[in-house]
Chain A
């Protein structure tokens, strides 16, 4: 799980996708692609964006939901707490076993 998270965060395009989803939740693939090309000048194929989204989804950072005929993507920042929990905010009750 931690490996998936750090792998997902290690790519600039995926971080940009997260920035855009943070700005507005519930985007279609088309909207995400529009934002990447029009706002960021990233000429990435729709397929490549889909693959980035799959990596983010595997890390728990993006959730997809079907609403009628449409599919929307939402950002889920909960997995990022692993980072603060691990290094920034140690549990005051005492040391715990670290994720390897």
Chain B
């Protein structure tokens, strides 16, 4: 068994496509129309085109909003991405107008930061020792 795909809910798939590709730098892998409005929209890291796909899933279910609102209020991220330098990535993203709820924080061997993906989620970036 392996983790092939994981998903996060997004308020607006077009906005999410922009943020996850243009701002974060992922590349689109699949984009298939589903019904009238929704799409099967996935992105992958350019560093790992055959790696785990992230599905940007429409947040239409009524349970999604209260669930995400409660997590966002407490600053809890819904996904974590690995970067080689959290501080450099923080500077790059702040320059692109991204809002962080937690600035880079060194905690022993791990450095983390948390930002808002503009689609309803908080995302953590982290570096870990090799």
Contacts and interface: CB of A to CB of B under 8 A. Distances in A.
Contacts, number: 49
Interface string B73-112: 1111100000000000000000000000111010110101
Contacts of A30: 74-77, 101-102, 114, 122
Interface of A: 24, 27-31, 34-35, 38-39, 46, 69-71
A29 B112 CA distance: 15
B72 A70 contact: yes
16 contacts: A27-B75, A27-B102, A28-B75, A28-B114, A30-B74, A30-B101, A30-B102, A30-B122, A31-B101, A31-B105, A34-B105, A34-B112, A38-B108, A39-B107, A69-B72, A70-B72
A38 B108 CA distance: 7
